Amino acid sequence: MNQQDNQSQLKLVITMLLVQSFLLIMIVTVNEGKMRQAFFNGSTRFVIAFIVIVSSCLSIMLVLRLYRMITSQAELEIKMLRLEEERQAMQQLKRQHHDFVNNLQTIYSLAQLDKKKELLNYIEGVTEDFQKVKVDSKHSEVQIVEATLLPMKEKALEANIDFSYQLKQGFKKINASTNQIMRILLNLIDNAIDATKKFNREKKIKVIGKEQEEKYIISVYNSGPVIEREKIKEILKEGVSSKGENRGLGLYIVQDILNKVNGRLEIKSEEEVGTEFICYFAKADK
């Protein structure tokens, strides 16, 4: 018997118990006067009435328990379905990664052979194909992006960082492609992990994506060390890092993508609070 059959059987039991309880209560109500007299006379009818009432109460309690069980089962099925969708989305990303690696190998081979014309044509073809990549119709943009975040979550957990994310639908309404959004998130999260993993206090990273009026906002927060205000403008330059090392390319890439899609980046960093990178995307014209 599958889960759907189990739910049908449980609903049937609930219905029967409700009918039983209703009938028992009706019997008690109709014979209320006689039962009151039986109570004062010490009659056995009072005992019967008492049993009927207790039985009704127990039936109602059972109904409530069964209802909670059905609700929990439904929630479990939804979670299992979501996990399966994420697994399929991850498989799709793995296939794309495989194709990407193959393309890199081909580009490397053409470069080694010094075939500049063929190399240029191949890169242009790959770029055009990459721009045309569409998300599988079975999966929403949010599911694809969430699947991309799973490896980053594992990386954060390995560094004992509490990683959480909450993304809302709305990617289709902005100018940026799903690939551009993934690149922005991966770069910001990677920087957040680097900034937080050696932090001596609470280690936390939180990613939020939400729709707000005429904008879509993506925020990546980390509880790591504060960035000094005078350094905030500097770290957006290519190759400049907030950690004082030559590893600032990630933020430059984020800024470059946002400039191309008419977006903007805001950085907030406060002592005892943490650092938040906020990306604002304008909605596409209808």
Buried b / exposed e along 183-207 (16+ C-beta atoms within 10 A): bbbbbbbbbbbbbbbebeeebbbbb
| 69 and 177 co-located in one domain | no
Question: Which of these, 149, 167, 7, lies nearest to 76 by C-alpha position?
Answer: 7
Can you spell out the DSSP letters for 214-257? TEEEEEEEE-SPPPPHHHHTGGGSTT--TTSSS--HHHHHHHHH
Q: Do residues 196 and 241 both lie within one domain? A: yes
Judgement on whether residues 116 and 156 belong to the same structural domain of the protein: no
Same-domain check for residues 177 and 277: yes
Q: What is the pLDDT of residue 137?
A: 43
Is residue 236 included in any domain, yes or no?
Answer: yes
Give the DSSP letter of residue 43: -
β-pairing, 204-212 vs 162-167, is parallel
> Which among 91, 92, 94, 90 is positioned nearest to 102, based on CA atoms?
94
Q: Is residue 204 helix, strand or coil? A: strand
Question: How many domains does the chain fold into?
Answer: 3
pLDDT tens track, the chain, 286 positions: 455 655 666 676 677 667 666 766 666 665 555 555 554 455 555 656 666 677 777 777 777 777 777 777 778 888 887 777 777 766 766 666 666 677 677 777 777 777 777 777 777 776 666 655 554 444 456 666 777 787 888 888 888 999 998 887 766 677 787 778 888 888 899 889 988 988 888 899 999 988 887 888 999 999 988 888 878 777 766 445 555 444 456 788 888 889 888 899 999 998 888 999 999 998 776 5
Question: Residue 14 contacts by C-beta under 8 Å, 6 or more apart in sequence?
Answer: 63, 66, 67
Q: Are residues 169 and 217 in the same domain?
A: yes
pLDDT at 277: 94
Looking at the structure, tell me whether residues 244 and 153 fall in a common domain. Answer: yes
| 163/272 same-domain check | yes
Judge residue 222's burial from the number of C-beta atoms within 10 Å of its C-beta, 0-12 exposed, 13-18 middle, 19 or more buried: buried
73 plus 165 within the same structural domain: no
CATH of the domain at 159: 3.30.565.10
Identify the sign of the CA torsion 151, 152, 155, 157: negative
Indicate if 77 and 111 belong to the same structural domain: no
Give yes or no: residues 106 and 24 share one domain.
no
Give the domain extent around 114: 85-131
Q: Decide: 176 and 257 in contact? Cβ < 8 Å.
A: yes
Which of 81, 98, 113 is the last residue before a domain boundary? 81
219 shares a domain with 152: yes
> Sheet harboring 274-282: ordered strands across?
162-167, 204-212, 215-222, 274-282, 264-270
Whether residue 136 lies inside any domain: the answer is no
Residue 117 and residue 240 in one domain: no
